[in-house]
Amino acid sequence: AQSVTQPDIHITVSEGASLELRCNYSYGATPYLFWYVQSPGQGLQLLLKYFSGDTLVQGIKGFEAEFKRSQSSFNLRKPSVHWSDAAEYFCAVSGAGSYQLTFGKGTKLSVIP
């Protein structure tokens, strides 16, 4: 069975500081990996995705993520956080076939001005 672990429930960073959100996955075949962001009361917006090729993927809003197969990880990074990045972030995994997404429990990001 596929699963996703986001070890950090809540992270607080200062505006302008760098950010790394951790994600570990379990999947029996080649995974498709995603990061989504959810602002309060809103739906989910895709930040970036990985399905093959270059293991460093660039997304929207200045985010990037690196796929490390040996560590079963897909960590999200941003060099300089803005106050508007405060939200909840979800890592998800799927694969070929039904493409059903399995989500982690999310990491809530707070940004201190």
83/97 Cα distance (integer angstroms): 38
Binding region for other proteins (CB under 8 A): 4, 9, 32, 34, 42-44, 46, 49, 51-52, 90, 94, 96, 98-106
Judge contact between 26 and 45, C-beta under 8 A.
no
**Would you say 96 or 112 has its CB closer to other proteins?**
96
Task: Provide the 10 A C-beta neighbour count for residue 23.
Answer: 25
Shortest Å distance, C-beta 107 to other proteins? 10
**Would you say 18 or 45 has its CB closer to other proteins?**
45
**Would you say 31 or 81 has its CB closer to other proteins?**
31
Q: What is the DSSP string of 14-82?
A: ETTS-EEE--EEE-SSPPEEEEEEE-TT---EEEEEESSS-SEEE-GGG-EEEEEGGGTEEEEEESS--
Shortest Å distance, C-beta 14 to other proteins? 25
**Would you say 42 or 110 has its CB closer to other proteins?**
42
Shortest Å distance, C-beta 13 to other proteins? 21
